[in-house]
Amino acid sequence: MREAHPRERATGVDYYVSDADGIGGRLRVAPEDFRVRERERMDPEPLDAPAGSYPFLLLRATLRRWDTNDFASALSDAMGASRERVSWAGTKDKHAVTTQLFTVRDADPEEIPEVDGAEVEVLGRVGRALTFGDLAGNEFEIRVRETAGDPDPITADLRAFAAGDDAGEDAAAGDAEADVDAAAAGDADPASLPDEGPVAVAVPNYFGHQRFGSRRPVTHEVGLAAVRGDWRGAVLAYCGNPNEAEPEDSQRAREVVEDEAGSDSPDWEAALDAMPGRLRYERSILHRLADGAGWREALEAVPSNLQRLFVNAAQSYVFNLILSERLRRGLPFTRPVEGDVVAFVERDVPFPKPDTDRLQRATAGRVDTLARHCGRGRAFVTAPLVGTDTDLAGGEPGAIEREVLRELDVTPGDFALPGEFESSGTRRAVLLPTDLTVAEREGDPVFEFALPSGSYATALLREYLKCDPERL
């Protein structure tokens, strides 16, 4: 097992499961190098359906160089409408070509304007707005340029990880069972990989670097401070805490914030003057401090979705640490051990996703049965996104969870926070499987795969590139 890049370890991602050398390379040289298309799960009524019963237009937009939030604002501005009338299911990257759904409340088809860099199709009417996560998953087509290695040995390693320790005993191993057994034993020959068509691979279901801030990964630090009740620490983690990857004026401004916070009479107006205008959320917080607000009230100056993101990032960091420790100890990801909490898959969805309302503990009498369900794709081993309602696992998996929380000085009850900072928690699959095709375009590898919503393409790509996560 290979140690991860130092920047990844700062977000709890400690290892690669592939020992093969990375191929290096560059992502997103052109937007067309990174294509994402949502797998949709909303069926519209015809456009002539009564607007009273179906007040939302459903749009499919293909965006080039558009951040999802910015496109929604541009669309509403062009309509002369409130931004709150536009909703979507998943936020996509700006440096890409993305195809996704939007809903617009109380609008007619002829009101939908043309927007530069966007192709918009009006699909029909629906009775409710899209909400976050309201999609089955995403399909990816990603070209990596300027590589310097062979992806096949990495693919072989990820096939072995997908096969797990007991693939040969699983009745559902399927076709090419001997090939899978060889991969599980570490004997897979990269030259034997199929030239065409997908192969089953898997990686740990890590949260990607962008969850924590691509250039300045601090959102989890803010969230952990808030969970501990250290609102001063949360504000300083966000507004102070300079990072060498930032522009120099941002670093200087954050140093001013920390200097003022350490003085007996902080001059928040001076800190506000130093903070660049582009850092509008930091400025909002400093405005409140200058007006005499307390630390928590100041942090609540940021939008509610960002307040939730702080805590979500803290949960994600804990989750990543748990997965890293599970890897370090050699516990399986494809099947449970005694004490694990297993989730059965959601019914009638195109992706096998864990249904967190259908959880079972892997007791001594149930562990083998649950392992068979996992082997047949009917269930997943899970780890917690810790919150007030979290019941920790038992056995060695539970010992890992408790050890990680103890080292961070956090308990599930600490997530009983005011307002948007509160979280009841949930559980998430530890394994991220997919069918992968690696094609070639003008000498560059092109990776084609699909993932359920909430999982990160970079969790797979990092195994291939093995580079600074900023390049992902």
**DSSP symbols for 178-223:** HHHHHHHTT---GGGS-SSS-EEEEEE-PPPGGGS-SSS--HHHHH
**DSSP tag of 43:** P
User: Which residue is it, tokens 């990269």?
Assistant: 190
Tokens in use for 51?
């607007």
H helices, E strands: number in the chain? 14, 15
384: Cβ contacts below 8 Å, ≥ 6 apart: 318, 319, 322, 341, 390, 392, 393, 401, 425, 426, 427, 428
| Tokens representing residue 213 in the block | 């801030």
> Rounded to whole angstroms, how far apart are CA atoms 260 and 226?
21
Which CB contacts under 8 angstroms, 24+ apart, belong to 252-261? 253/279, 253/282, 257/282, 257/286, 261/232, 261/236
Q: Are 126 and 42 in contact (CB under 8 A)?
A: yes
The per-residue pLDDT for range 118-152, each reduced to its tens digit, is: 999 999 999 999 987 788 899 999 999 999 999 99
The answer to whether 148 and 190 are in contact (CB under 8 A) is: no
What confidence score (pLDDT) does residue 136 get?
Answer: 85
Distance of CA 271 to the CA centre of its chain: 33
Report CA-CA distances (Å) from 276 to 69, 136, 239, 295, 433: 22, 39, 12, 21, 43
Q: Are 218 and 243 in contact (CB under 8 A)?
A: yes
Active site residue 93: yes
Residue with tokens 């009101």: 111
Task: Give the model's pLDDT for residue 245.
Answer: 87
The tokens describing 252, both together, are: 């200087």
Nearest 5°: CA angle at 69, between 65 and 73? Answer: 100
Question: Using one digit for the tens of pLDDT, what is the confidence trace for 1-33?
Answer: 899 999 999 999 999 999 999 999 999 999 999
In contact, 61 and 99? CB cutoff 8 Å: yes
Distances (CA, A) of 227 to 221, 316, 417: 10, 13, 7
Q: Which domains, from first to last, does the chain contain?
A: 2-31+145-202+439-471 (no CATH), 42-134 (3.30.70.3160), 211-302 (1.10.1510.30), 313-429 (3.30.2350.20)
- Quote the pLDDT of residue 176: 39
Residues 104, 59: contact at Cβ < 8 Å?
yes
* Residue found by looking up tokens 């007030």 in the block: 388
Quick one: tokens of 25?
């390379």
105-118: string of b/e by CB count within 10 Å (b at 16+)? eebeeeebeebeeb
Return d(Cα 53, Cα 125) in angstroms, integer. 9
Q: Angle formed by the axes of helices 280-290 and 231-239, to 10°?
A: 130
What tokens appear for 247 in the block?
């522009």
**pLDDT at residue 170, as a whole number:** 39
Sign of the CA dihedral running 287, 291, 294, 296: negative
Position 23 scores a pLDDT of 97
Provide the sign of the torsion angle of the four alpha carbons 24, 139, 100, 420, taken in this order.
Answer: negative
146: which DSSP letter? S
Among the listed residues 14, 21, 67, 93, the single catalytic one is 93
* Positions in the chain whose pLDDT score sits under 70: 165-196
Q: Which long-range contacts (CB under 8 A, 24 or more apart) does 276-283 make?
A: 276/247, 276/249, 276/250, 279/250, 279/253, 281/238, 281/306, 282/238, 282/239, 282/253, 282/257
Per-residue model confidence (pLDDT) at position 195: 55
Task: Decide the pairing of beta strands 97-105 and 56-64.
Answer: antiparallel
Closest alpha carbon to 4 in 469, 378, 360, 390: 469
Q: Residue 148's closest CA among 240, 18, 5, 22? A: 22
Dihedral angle sign, alpha carbons of residues 25, 30, 31, 34:
negative
List the end-to-end C-alpha distance of the chain, in Å, as a whole number: 21
